[in-house]
């Protein structure tokens, strides 16, 4: 082949690839499907429920900033299909990461997913907008036990998404003596075999619990004691991971540690030897929430999303795909009636459906206001000092 | 106007340098000044910057403290100095291993047939097509307890009937070193190759004519003439390794804390931009000092331009 032919061939290839990309872009645009009749079906064959009620929406985009591995693909796809809105999703793996990005300003997110304890700080910093309850007809779907929490009385700023616990996770096949308390994790036999969440408040919190203190203490002397105690534990921890702690557990890189509900549930399904143990001092309880940051621009799409995902026939997908404790009673009822297998797996698992005494014994992390720097410094100094 | 521009060399120069100058001013000088200002500030409990003038952040970084547990008047906490030292020694080790691996390969490519040379260079560059972070994650798959390396060693050991317990490689400082060496290897190969390739063949012939053997030729001709490439590569490797935090985060399991991690954490986890700024500036000053002494000894390495 001479040079001229080669260039000709290259040219044809370039044009062909451009044509193909253009076609791909066209067919992927969800907007074209909204007018067509009949039920909308996702790529996995899931038939999307109609929105009820259908909200008036003119926006074509919604930008959400959410936790990693937390959303059923069908739920995301269905929202795009039924409303013809392009959903843009960015992810984070710690509240601090999310907070840094939102407080830096200039981001254009419509919805974020702060956990309980960071909400007070976000409200104080005027980073959140008040919710318009008149635009939330489906708000009654939530179990009242998850509403009106101390971090946001009257749900002025937030709505629940999912909740869960931080507790002990252990591979019973490789660990001889199963730990039953947070304090047990300090035992030398577990050194170098543990995974912990990279979550300052939870890890310092459980350390405080082993000393008999409150997880939200602001007493500098108690925190100083916790720092010394935590410094003994940190060298024994092999890895801190909040992105996907189940991976190291399933792969056998670590044998035990602390993680949260959903990761433990999936690890347990992959390997039934991996068990979730509620410590005698009590697990850490938490709740993730929706909130609208200041500067959000697609208000109509925000409320369309909130109402649509609050529907029982939509939100049950989280019970199927991301097994955390579910605050939406309509979703639980829907699953119970229509998806008995999914419901049974959820309701029968002590991981997703924690026993009442574990919940009663649990500890919620709260905003500590002026004591925040004490927690921050402990975390940086303890983790940096090996 | 145009006529004047055509005649004036200096006006042309100014015009050509203008875009870069503006770029550097807006995106380097101004942020640096802001960092400097913030580093003298204090944080509020919520993590806002209170603008004032205090050296507290720098004093904290040095480890000097007057608030001591045992009632002493002054004490020294080596935490942050230790992190800086650890980063520095990792950067030196990485650079050393990168040179050791890159030099023979660059030599091989430079002495290859010109037709194959481009092919080899192309192969050096292929890994760069994949995202930096994804390449680090790939090392996770190789290094983990049930990863590829342990499986292969286990299989060989099994054939030889030697008992084998999987090696603990992931989440160790060694894993971080391996990841760093891998990531920065191409940045050493290319400048060394460029200087080796430029060496005139007649110099080797002259060396042979004058009775030098292979070793002598290498030591007296090849090595000195390729030093600019090594120097340039060292600068391109050493400086980024000092500040990188992704490799130690992923392969070190967030347990190997380098100065890059320390800085990143101040801005995220700890919400203390003032201390983070102070640490950034100290890192920059340290890097500048090391680079300054290095380049004063070895020259700046003209290949940095070619690379």
Looking at the structure, do residues A211 and A181 belong to the same domain, yes or no? yes
Q: Is residue B152 part of a domain?
A: yes
Q: Is residue B138 part of a domain?
A: yes
Looking at the structure, do residues A171 and A256 belong to the same domain, yes or no? yes
CB contact (8 A) between residue B262 and residue A384:
yes
Q: Is residue B15 part of a domain?
A: no
CATH number, domain containing residue B157: 1.10.3720.10
E strand or H helix at B30: helix B30-39
Looking at the structure, do residues A295 and A280 belong to the same domain, yes or no? no
Q: What pTM value is reported for the model?
A: 0.82
Comparison of pLDDT for A32 and A372, the residue scoring more: A372
B8-66 pLDDT per residue, tens: 888 888 889 999 999 999 999 999 999 999 999 998 888 889 999 999 999 989 888 87
- pLDDT for the residue numbered A23: 45
Q: For residue A99, which residues of chain B lie inside 8 Å, CB to CB?
A: 271
Helix (H, G, I), strand (E, B) or coil at A256: strand
Q: For residue A251, which residues of chain B lie inside 8 Å, CB to CB?
A: 144-147
Beta-carbon contacts of A14 under 8 Å, excluding residues fewer than 6 positions away, are none
Q: Is residue B226 part of a domain?
A: yes
**Overall size of chain B counted in residues:** 307
A253 and chain B in contact, CB less than 8 A: yes
- pLDDT for the residue numbered B275: 93
Q: Is residue A48 part of a domain?
A: no
Q: Is residue B240 part of a domain?
A: yes
Domain count for chain A, please give it. 2
Q: Is residue A79 part of a domain?
A: yes
CB contact (8 A) between residue A386 and residue B257:
yes
Looking at the structure, do residues A366 and A235 belong to the same domain, yes or no? yes
Which of A100, A198, A200 lies at the smallest CB-CB distance from B267? A100
Looking at the structure, do residues A367 and A236 belong to the same domain, yes or no? yes
pLDDT grade, residue A27 (50/70/90)?
Answer: very low
CB contact (8 A) between residue B255 and residue A192:
no
Q: Specify the pairing of strand A86-92 against strand A61-67.
A: parallel
Question: Cα–Cα distance between A181 and A192 in angstroms, integer?
Answer: 18
Q: How far is CA B229 from CA A161, A177, A181, B93, B128, in A?
A: 56, 57, 58, 18, 20
Q: Is residue A100 part of a domain?
A: yes
Distance of residue B257 Cα from the nearest chain A Cα, in angstroms? 6
A186-200 pLDDT per residue, tens: 999 999 999 999 988
**In the predicted model, is pLDDT for residue A36 greater than 60?**
no
DSSP state of A173: T
Looking at the structure, do residues A369 and A229 belong to the same domain, yes or no? yes
Asked whether the beta carbons of A76 and A89 are under 8 A apart, the reply is yes
**In the predicted model, is pLDDT for residue A25 greater than 90?**
no
Q: Which domain holds residue A314?
A: 61-162+287-348
A74 and chain B in contact, CB less than 8 A: no
E strand or H helix at A101: helix A95-103
Q: Is residue A170 part of a domain?
A: yes
What number is the average pLDDT over the span A143-147? 92
CATH number, domain containing residue A333: 3.40.190.10
Question: Cα–Cα distance between A196 and A183 in angstroms, integer?
Answer: 14
Print pLDDT tens along chain B (307 aa).
Answer: 677 778 888 888 888 999 999 999 999 999 999 999 999 999 888 888 999 999 999 998 988 887 776 667 778 888 889 899 999 999 999 999 999 999 999 999 999 998 899 999 999 999 999 999 999 999 999 999 889 999 999 999 999 998 888 888 999 999 999 999 999 999 999 999 999 999 988 998 899 899 889 899 999 889 999 998 999 999 999 999 998 999 998 998 888 888 998 898 888 878 889 999 999 999 999 999 988 888 888 776 555 544 4
Q: CA B180 from chain center: how many Å?
A: 8
Q: Is residue A19 part of a domain?
A: no
- pLDDT for the residue numbered B69: 67
Q: Is residue B39 part of a domain?
A: no
Beta-carbon contacts of A186 under 8 Å, excluding residues fewer than 6 positions away, are A210, A229, A232, A233, A236
Looking at the structure, do residues A201 and A336 belong to the same domain, yes or no? no
CB contact (8 A) between residue B43 and residue A373:
yes
Looking at the structure, do residues A157 and A302 belong to the same domain, yes or no? yes
Looking at the structure, do residues A215 and A294 belong to the same domain, yes or no? no
Which of A96, A370, A385 lies at the smallest CB-CB distance from B271? A96
CB contact (8 A) between residue A380 and residue B266:
yes
Looking at the structure, do residues A105 and A143 belong to the same domain, yes or no? yes
- pLDDT for the residue numbered A33: 45
Q: How far is CA B144 from CA A174, B108, B149, in A?
A: 17, 32, 8
Domain count for chain B, please give it. 1
Q: Which domain holds residue B228?
A: 78-306
Q: Specify the pairing of strand A61-67 against strand A237-240.
A: unpaired
Which chain A residue's Cα is nearest to B172? A238
DSSP state of A115: B
Ordered DSSP codes for B232-247: HHHHHHHHHHHH--HH
Q: Is residue A4 part of a domain?
A: no
Q: Is residue A18 part of a domain?
A: no
A75-121 pLDDT per residue, tens: 999 999 999 999 999 999 889 889 989 988 878 899 999 999 999 99
């Amino acid at each position: 082949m001479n040079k001229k032919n080669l260039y000709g061939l290259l040219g044809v290839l370039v044009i062909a690839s451009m044509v193909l990309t253009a076609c791909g872009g066209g067919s992927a645009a969800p907007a074209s499907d909204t007018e067509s009749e009949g039920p909308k079906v996702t790529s996995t064959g899931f038939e999307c429920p109609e929105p009820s009620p259908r909200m008036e929406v003119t926006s074509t985009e919604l930008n959400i900033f959410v936790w990693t591995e937390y959303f059923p693909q069908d739920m995301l796809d269905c929202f795009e299909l039924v409303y013809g809105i392009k959903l843009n999703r960015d992810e984070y793996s710690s509240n601090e990461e999310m907070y840094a990005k939102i407080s830096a300003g200039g981001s254009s997110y419509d919805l974020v997913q702060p956990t309980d304890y960071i909400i007070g700080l976000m409200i104080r910093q005027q980073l959140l907008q008040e919710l318009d309850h008149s635009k939330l007809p489906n708000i009654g779907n939530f179990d009242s036990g998850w509403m009106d929490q101390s971090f946001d009385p009257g749900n002025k700023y937030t709505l629940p998404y999912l909740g869960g616990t931080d507790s002990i996770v252990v591979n019973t096949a490789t660990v001889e003596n199963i730990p039953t308390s947070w304090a047990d994790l300090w035992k030398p036999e577990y050194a170098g075999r543990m995974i912990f969440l990279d979550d300052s408040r939870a890890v310092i919190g459980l350390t405080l619990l082993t000393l008999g203190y409150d997880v939200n203490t602001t007493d500098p002397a108690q925190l100083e004691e916790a720092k010394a105690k935590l410094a003994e534990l940190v060298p024994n921890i092999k890895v801190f991971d909040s992105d996907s702690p189940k991976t190291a557990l399933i792969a056998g890189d670590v044998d035990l540690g602390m993680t949260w509900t959903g990761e433990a549930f999936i690890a347990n399904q992959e390997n039934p030897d991996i068990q979730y143990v509620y410590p005698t001092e009590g697990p850490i309880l938490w709740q993730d929430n929706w909130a609208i940051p200041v500067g959000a621009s697609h208000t109509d799409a925000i409320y369309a999303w909130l109402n649509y995902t609050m529907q029982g026939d939509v939100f049950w997908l989280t019970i199927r795909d991301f097994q955390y404790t579910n605050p939406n009673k309509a979703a639980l009822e829907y699953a119970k009636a229509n998806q008995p297998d999914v419901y049974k797996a959820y309701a029968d698992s002590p991981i997703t459906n924690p026993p009442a005494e574990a919940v009663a014994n649990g500890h919620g992390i709260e905003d500590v206001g002026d004591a925040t720097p004490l927690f921050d410094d402990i975390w940086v100094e303890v983790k940096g000092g090996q | 106007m145009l006529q004047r521009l055509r005649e004036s060399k200096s006006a042309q120069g100014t015009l050509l340098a203008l875009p870069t100058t503006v770029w550097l001013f807006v995106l380097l000088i101004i942020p640096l000044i802001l960092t400097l200002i913030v580093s003298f500030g204090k944080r509020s409990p919520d993590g806002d910057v209170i603008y004032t003038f205090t050296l507290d952040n720098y004093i904290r970084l040095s480890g000097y403290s007057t608030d001591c547990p045992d009632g002493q008047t002054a004490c020294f906490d080596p935490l942050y100095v230790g992190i800086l030292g650890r980063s520095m020694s990792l950067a030196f080790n990485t650079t050393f291993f990168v040179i050791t691996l890159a030099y023979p390969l660059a030599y091989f490519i430079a002495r290859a047939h010109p037709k194959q040379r481009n092919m080899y260079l192309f192969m050096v560059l292929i890994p760069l097509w994949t995202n930096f972070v994804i390449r680090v994650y790939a090392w996770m798959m190789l290094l983990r307890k049930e990863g590829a390396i342990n499986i292969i060693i286990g299989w060989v050991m099994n054939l030889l009937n030697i008992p084998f317990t999987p090696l603990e490689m992931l989440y160790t400082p060694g894993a971080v070193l391996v990841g760093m060496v891998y990531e920065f290897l191409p940045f050493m190969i290319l400048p060394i190759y460029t200087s080796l390739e430029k060496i005139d063949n007649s110099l080797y012939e002259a060396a042979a004519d004058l009775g030098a053997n292979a070793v002598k030729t290498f030591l007296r001709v090849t090595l000195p003439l390729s030093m600019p490439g090594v120097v340039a590569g060292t600068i391109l490797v050493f400086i980024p390794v000092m500040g990188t935090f992704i490799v130690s985060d992923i392969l070190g399991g967030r347990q190997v804390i380098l100065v890059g991690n320390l800085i990143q954490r101040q801005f995220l986890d700890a919400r203390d931009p003032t201390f983070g700024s102070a640490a950034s500036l100290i890192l920059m000053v340290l890097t500048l000092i090391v680079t300054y002494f290095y380049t004063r000894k070895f020259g700046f390495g003209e290949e940095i331009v070619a690379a």
